[in-house]
A and B are shown apart, each in its own frame.
Chain A
């Protein structure tokens, strides 16, 4: 009974801990940053809160979702506001992470002390970076040197930052309110001058002034990082505009977009440090959005809450704690600790599930749409499988496997998220919820279960070497679990692969094209089939199955990530160089484990005894 109570306490405590960031009110501040973070904007083809844009922009610039400056942590939204309205100040934030020694050499920056550099330190070499990047851009992506890749990457981050600086006003120059007023006053006069048959000198001066202003707005229209102004009343739902577009729009001459005045007021107040005026203008704009574009406001609010809760980060922490608890339970041989570990793993899984559901609802898509979400889903499905398997064999292996895969896939997902918006829009051919929900989900479950089987194999190998007393019953339990998981994996990877073939038949006109990604999926099917046939034929026994399951880890990883590294084929939608090293290291580690499995159990201790 007390174990039950302990489990309940651990479970609820973990959930409360995970929900904490969403429950606590935002830290007190004069400026209403959280309301600004919730404002909807259009970027990357979808409506999202400024919060999401700021986080993913900062993540790609700095690899973190916040900036440390002067011993304080600055949120992504505040960083964005500073960049947009007080760029001179934002230029001093150490926001750019630069690691490559050759790039640092080019910038003339010191190596070693800090990885983070402020914009003003990079600015003197900005043209040089631009020219070098233009040269590197002409080279095919697979053939670039590390320096060229790093430089292109830096250039695109600098460009992103410069676009943010020019989203609401030109690099923080002038007073936006005065300018808007001047423009509104000038417009009718200039229009009259334009239509007059005999323009006077004054008319010509007016027209010239207007054309200069329009030039500036055209520049803003080009440079703006996102579209902050929702469609006006009666306009199509897609008709978002940025500040520059709204100002250079002829319709703006008669009735300017109401958001223009609000953002101008916000800009002036923010620059002047006038929190009350800023909050008032912000409330005015938020109210307008809520009245005329309620669906955008609602979606942005929900997504901000999701960002604040960061369920995958807290899930990651909970999985790791659960894993450590399982180890502790094994070491101390305490059933109550094992029970607590199980409860904690279930809590982690629940947080993971809620996060996954929230993403699915927010995006209006099945759970897997890109490499990032595939990692989240692989972890989820493995964790579920592991937790269910634990109910069949209560030895702690399956729950340890669930926690380990849950933790590592969420960690992988976290690193993948640095490449940009994780809810990016689907390219035309992928735009099919039916196939995303069937083929992609089935394949991903196939990945998950193959990993779980591989992890059970690893547990088997490790136990063989560290257990003092051989425990054949536990070994058998492990291998029968692994066998069941492999069978499950064969079912899903086969169904997923063939469904993929059918999708390909629907969209590309061939069932099977031997494209790298298809081949990767086929390899998983063949390998699982091979393991099962080898077992049915009696060619391999317990050890053989477990070691083959470990090799399955390599095959899934190559199919999941390695294929993207080839950079060819119809499916190469997630190219990445950086992961190559990790993939090689992982493969080597798995091969080492297989070799370890072939050595006699506890071989080093026997030698000591001799």
Chain B
């Protein structure tokens, strides 16, 4: 019997068990593809392409064509979530016998929502602190920013950061605090910088970049690789007068800038920084090994946390499996360097971090409940 009402049919389809099975199978295929792709693409890009996407695209080698070949993790997960919710309310009666399944499905829905929220809201950055150093910001791994700094006052500098997303989409950037406009002539996520031959022409006219040329390249994605981003920026006064064309890159350490009406301005391109309303001071980093071997036993950072607003000034030991959670951020021991005097903390902002905990609890209880009921029934039948 086919229902005529298209809405009813849609709801039927959305709540069908067949759809559940299809989605589970598709999800398995995606997971396998994502795992195998990691060998060549690196984990970040493989996840972007197969899991955190709505559609999996495929470009035949050497062509600009982009063909949709498979639903992505976002689509399958979304449909599965809808399917779960619809099936829940249409198929399952609310009874003690089915109570376990209700709890399981609520738990699963939370898990999905948590993963979606993580994909949308999670921000990861790094904080590298040397022993004795104090830091109030962390740096992104991949995203860049151009900063304009007013260095007139030697003690307090004003900084204005422009994220790479803006640099890629806007031709001109203005800010009320700036007496000039920034014209973005070029921006590349990754490029090879070389010293320029005297003969080769360049649009860059000011700063050390004038002696250099660059060749845009494919961005790298593998873990541990770093892009060399390049921005060609031209500050322009309100009357249209150019202050020179600058080449900025995170690979160039030297400051570049100019004076304007008695103020010192500096331009730079660097990994994007996130300012935090508190600071960490690294007091001690330890790298313990098992006796007589190089096998690492533990890494730990003893930090002093100072947060004036929250009234916090205390010492915290961050070590393996024991992060610091403060101000909506979580600090993990991630890496180290400089002969064990530098500690790298991973800084994660994920508002949804508690959802999996809750979900795990619900699903475990629900499954225990449900299978317990089933086992009792099955044993009861055998006795009878």
Contacts and interface: CB of A to CB of B under 8 A. Distances in A.
Interface in A11-43: 42-43
Give 4 closest A-B pairs by Cβ, nearest first. A45-B290, A537-B17, A238-B291, A498-B360
B126 to A, nearest CB: 11
Given A498-B111, A519-B35, A530-B25, A46 B290 contact: yes
A227 interface: yes
Contact of A533 (B17, B348, B353): B17
A69 to B, nearest CB: 32
Interface of B: 17-18, 20-21, 24-25, 27-28, 31-32, 34-36, 38-39, 43, 46-47, 51, 111, 114-115, 118, 122, 124, 289-293, 295-299, 320-323, 330, 332, 334, 346, 348, 350, 353, 356-357, 359-360, 363-364, 367-368, 371, 374-375, 378-379, 382
A491 B296 contact: no
Given A487-B374, A566-B39, A510 B122 contact: yes
Contacts of B320: 428-429, 431-432, 507
B292 to A, nearest CB: 5
Contacts of A523: 28, 31-32
B360 A491 contact: no
**Interface majority SS (helix, strand, loop, mixed), chain A:** helix
Contacts of B322: 506
A536 B346 CA distance: 44
Contacts of A392: 379, 382
A527 B32 CA distance: 12
Interface in A482-511: 484, 487-488, 490-491, 494-495, 498-499, 501-503, 505-511
B299 A428 contact: yes
A533 B292 contact: no
A227 B332 CA distance: 35
B292 A227 contact: yes
A427 B43 CA distance: 22
B38 A569 contact: yes
Contact of A513 (B43, B290, B350, B363): B43
A568 B371 contact: no
A282 B111 CA distance: 62
Contact of A529 (B24, B32, B122, B297): B24
A480 interface: yes
B357 A428 contact: no
Contacts of B21: 530, 533-534, 537, 539
A526 B367 CA distance: 15
A43 B31 CA distance: 40
Contacts of B298: 428, 431
Nearest to B366: A491
Interface string A512-535: 111110011011001101100110
A425 B297 contact: yes
Contact of B332 (A431, A494, A507, A519): A507
Interface of A: 42-46, 227, 238-240, 392, 425, 427-429, 431-432, 435, 480, 484, 487-488, 490-491, 494-495, 498-499, 501-503, 505-516, 519-520, 522-523, 526-527, 529-530, 533-534, 536-537, 539, 563, 566, 568-569
B43 A509 contact: no
A240 B28 contact: no
28 contacts: A43-B292, A44-B292, A44-B293, A45-B290, A45-B291, A239-B291, A427-B295, A431-B297, A432-B320, A480-B378, A488-B371, A491-B368, A491-B371, A498-B360, A502-B360, A506-B321, A507-B320, A509-B348, A510-B124, A510-B348, A511-B114, A514-B46, A519-B31, A523-B28, A526-B24, A530-B24, A536-B17, A537-B21
B32 to A, nearest CB: 7
B28 A526 contact: yes
Contact of B51 (A44, A494, A514, A539): A514
A488 B368 CA distance: 9
- Name, among A428, A488, A491, A519, the residue most crowded by chain B CB atoms within 10 Å (CB to CB): A428
Nearest to B20: A533
Contacts of A484: 375, 378
B323 A432 contact: no
Contacts of B289: 45
A45 B323 contact: no
Nearest to A528: B24
Given A491-B364, A512-B115, A435 B290 contact: no
A509 B367 contact: no
B123 to A, nearest CB: 11
B35 A566 contact: yes
Nearest to B26: A526
B340 to A, nearest CB: 14
A501 B359 CA distance: 11
Contacts of A527: 28
Nearest to A512: B115
A494 B296 CA distance: 30
A484 B43 CA distance: 36
B39 A494 contact: no
A240 B124 contact: no
A45 B17 contact: no
A568 B25 CA distance: 25
B378 to A, nearest CB: 7
A538 B338 CA distance: 62
B291 A568 contact: no
Contacts of A44: 290, 292-293, 295
B296 A428 contact: yes
A425 B332 contact: no
Contact of A568 (B39, B290, B323, B356): B39
- Name, among B20, B122, B382, the residue most crowded by chain A CB atoms within 10 Å (CB to CB): B20
B27 A526 contact: yes
Contacts of B379: 392
B47 to A, nearest CB: 5
Given A45-B289, A514-B35, A519-B31, 13 more contacts: A45-B297, A238-B291, A428-B320, A431-B298, A509-B334, A509-B346, A510-B118, A510-B124, A511-B118, A530-B28, A566-B38, A566-B39, A569-B43
Contact of B356 (A42, A45, A501): A501
A95 B332 CA distance: 47
Nearest to A428: B296
B332 A491 contact: no
A494 B363 contact: yes
B31 A522 contact: yes
Contacts of A514: 31, 34-35, 43, 46-47, 51
Nearest to B288: A428
Nearest to A515: B43
B170 to A, nearest CB: 32
A42 B292 contact: yes
Nearest to B17: A537
B321 A429 contact: yes
A511 B355 CA distance: 10
Contacts of B356: 498, 501-502, 505, 511-512
Given A502-B357, A511-B356, A530-B28, A539 B348 contact: no
Contacts of A510: 118, 122, 124, 348, 350
A594 to B, nearest CB: 16
A360 B28 CA distance: 35
Contacts of A529: 24
Contacts of A506: 321-323
Contact of A537 (B18, B332, B359): B18
